Structures are given as structure tokens and as C-alpha cells.
Amino acid sequence: MRRSFLLVLALLFALAAASLHSASATTQGAAQASTTGITRTTIKLGATCPLTGPAASYGSICRGMGAYYSFVNSRKGKDGKRGIGGRKIIWKFYDDAYNPAQTVQMTNKLVLEDKVFAVVGSVGTEHNLAVRPFLNGRKVPQTLVSTGASYWGLEYKKWPWTGGWQPDYISEGRVYGKWIAKNAPNAKIAIFYQNDDYGKDYLKGVESGLGAKKSLIVSKEHYEATDSSYASQIAHQKISGADTWVLLTTPVPTLRAIGTAKALAWKPDSIVINSVAATDAIMRAAEQSAGAAYVDGDISTAYLKYPTSPKYKNDAAVKKFRRIMAKFAPGANPNDLFYYYGMAKAYDSVKLLYLAGKNPTRPSYRKATTRMDWVNPFTIKGVVTKTSAKDRFPLDQFKIIKYASATHTWTETGKLIKGR
């Protein structure tokens, strides 16, 4: 009798345990299902990029990210699963033609219709500012934005769901100012910048870097992103007598500005080109349109390895980049630096997803952006991807680089510089 009672009691305990386990599994499944953009087999990410318009060359950033995500989906990780812990990355990006109004429309589509988990790597300062309130209001991560505006690292308390990636423009501009003050202490400086937060951040940095030598600036002219001619502004800069020209411009305007200077028979002794426009494609085009003299010896900065540099011909990360390009972006230009930039950014976004946990949520992913600490193999040796609760600038180190028309490539010079 006693034995029968104990058997019945044991059976009741077993049934209760099974019921609790089932309830727990159901709760976990429901919680997982409630995470927008995440299923057991997929993670949906999105972005906006200019595939057309005045900054269409930036479109390669989103395409480069896509190539890397395809690679991640195809290979098995350390856990033996493909993708991110067995979840395939679904990558959605739309053309905003570098128009903030269209950025708003396309971001709404990503969030409200496509229901992405996070917006990652969207291009443009004004464009990301335009959607920041919407994304933060809905607590949708807006991470690793493709712009170096200082906002992303400085305003995290007000906009906790937004974060940057690359070194900020103020820090980069400060490096140019210090370089000029040291290497051309008697220069007459002309600055040509884009008339928005992008250009003004750079300008602020250059003036800060010059310090007491800010008086060396003899001309400041700006352009609008929609302008098709800069003849008037650059004619004024020529008349100023400037011998050092600082271009705080996006790729196509950089090429147009150099072409205009050539047409006006103005050749400054030194030309500084901000990093976002210092691509091989732009420099080659400038050589063809204005001549080697306009680009030989030009100065810029870099935090990523240049895949076209002889120095990195046998570099493991650059070789990996080319393999991924060949397989997942066939027909694309393997020397397009924006593809490389996109791939480097995608690498960090994948690391973030792992850091967010086995079953990522938007809050865990946002928290992960404050705990980044690793070396991205696509960056220059010594550069570290690192953030903390009080430091939201993931990358803040770079080197001065100089362009040589004889080899059609950039060469790193000097030591690694910390921006902040």
C-alpha cells in the first residue's frame, strides 16, 4: 500500500515538472517570437544608402555589407552553426538618393513594413539625423551609422538607441589642422566644405587643430550638396592667394572641385582631402581630369587597410575580402574601397549580434554597443574597436596617408594617432 502511494506521488511530481518545463518553454518561445525581426532561423537588418544621385558611390557600402552577410550565412561559426547561431541574416537596404526626405520614407518602410530588428550602417549625416527621433521613439537600434558626425558619440544620453562607428569628423579635421600647423607653419589656407553638419564638423576640427595658427585661414567657401558648379567659390579661393587647400567634401564634389581648380589654372602647393573622399577611384579620376600634379602628395587619413596598397597585397584580411567579393559580389569592382568599408563595418555588426546573446533582443543589442572591445582585422594594425558606458566612439585611431600618383595608391606615414 505504502509502495503504491509512493509510486503515485512520484508520478504526480513528474507530471508537475513536465508541466512547468512546458510552460517555461512556451514562455521563452513567446518572448522570442515577440522580438521584432528575430525568428528561430533569421535576423532581419536594414539600412538606407544612396544608390543613385550625387553620392551614389556610397551605395557600395550597403552592397559590401551584404556580401559579408552572405559569407556569414554560408559558413559555420565556432558553434558549428551557419549565420549567427543558426540564424540567417536577411539584409534589406533601400535607395534614398542621398535625400533626407527619402531616407525618412525608406526607414519607415524598413521599420513598419519590413519589421527589421535593427537599422545598421545607414549612410549620411543629415539623413541619419532625420530618422533618429523616429527610431529612438520606437526603441529600434540605429547602429554603426555610416557617417563620422560627432553627434553619434556625444549625444548618446539623449538618443540612446543611436551609435556611430568610424572616427568622428571633428577628430579627423583636428589632425589635418595639426599637420598643417607643423608641416606648413606659414601656409595660406583655403577651406572648401559641404554646407551641412557633415562639413561643419570637419571645419570645426580643422580650426581646433590649427589652434593659435587659425589666422592662417585666408578663405572659407562652402557648397550645397545639390550644387552642380563651384566656379564662383573656387575662383574666390584662387584670388585669396591660398597655397594650401583643404577639401572637406564627399567623393563627387571632390572630383568636381579639383576639376574646377584645374580649369581656373589654380594649383595649390598642398591639398588635403578628407578620408571619405580619398578613394582610389576618385584619385584616379582626378589624375585623368586634372593631371598627376593635382593629386601627387595629397594628404588624408585612414583607419582601414587599403586593399589596393602593395603593403597589403598578402594581408590575410585583404585576401579574405577579395575571396568574399569574388564569390558573393561577382562582377563588382574588387578595388572599390566602399565595398571594403562596408565589409569592415559588417564584421563589427556581426560581433555585436553575438555579444547581444544567444537570443538577441533590441535592449540586449543596444547594451552590446556599449561593450565593444576587439580588433577588426580589416583595420590598420593597432586600431581597436572599443566602447564603454561613457565612450561611444567605437573607432578613434588613424594614420596620416599620402598619395603617390606614380603607384596610384596611398601610403601610411607616421605613428597611429588617437582622435580623442
The pLDDT of residue 78: 80
**Contact assessment for residue 412 and residue 397, using Cβ atoms and an 8 Å cutoff:** no
Task: Please give the average per-residue pLDDT across 71-78, as a whole number.
Answer: 91
Report the phi/psi class of residue 243: left, alpha or beta, with left for phi > 0 and alpha for psi in -120 to 50: alpha
Beta strand pairing call for 409-418 and 397-404? antiparallel
The C-alpha angle 307, 308, 314, rounded to 5 degrees, equals 60
The pLDDT of residue 34: 52
* Position 24 pLDDT exceeds 60: no
pLDDT band at 54 (very low <50, low <70, confident <90, very high): confident
Q: What is the pLDDT of residues 96-135, one digit of tens each?
A: 999 999 999 999 999 999 999 999 999 999 999 999 999 9
Task: Please give the average per-residue pLDDT across 272-294, as a whole number.
Answer: 92
Between residues 231 and 78, the one the model is more confident about: 231
340, three cell numbers: 571594403
Task: Please give the average per-residue pLDDT across 14-43, as a whole number.
Answer: 58
Instruction: Single out the residue of 322, 316, 335 nearest to residue 381, CA to CA.
Output: 316
The pLDDT of residue 23: 41
Q: What are phi and psi of 309, to 5 degrees?
A: -75, 135
Q: Could you tell me what percent of the chain has a pLDDT over 70? A: 92
Report the 10 Å Cβ neighbour count for 267: 16
* Position 373 pLDDT exceeds 80: yes
The pLDDT of residue 77: 81
Q: What is the pLDDT of residues 203-247, one digit of tens each?
A: 999 999 999 999 999 999 999 988 989 999 999 999 999 999 999
The pLDDT of residue 18: 42
Between residues 13 and 222, the one the model is more confident about: 222
Q: What is the pLDDT of residues 388-420, one digit of tens each?
A: 999 999 999 999 999 999 888 899 998 999 888
Q: What is the pLDDT of residues 181-197, one digit of tens each?
A: 999 999 999 999 999 99
Q: Could you tell me what percent of the chain has a pLDDT over 90? A: 84
**Contact assessment for residue 339 and residue 352, using Cβ atoms and an 8 Å cutoff:** no
The pLDDT of residue 8: 41
312, three cell numbers: 597589403
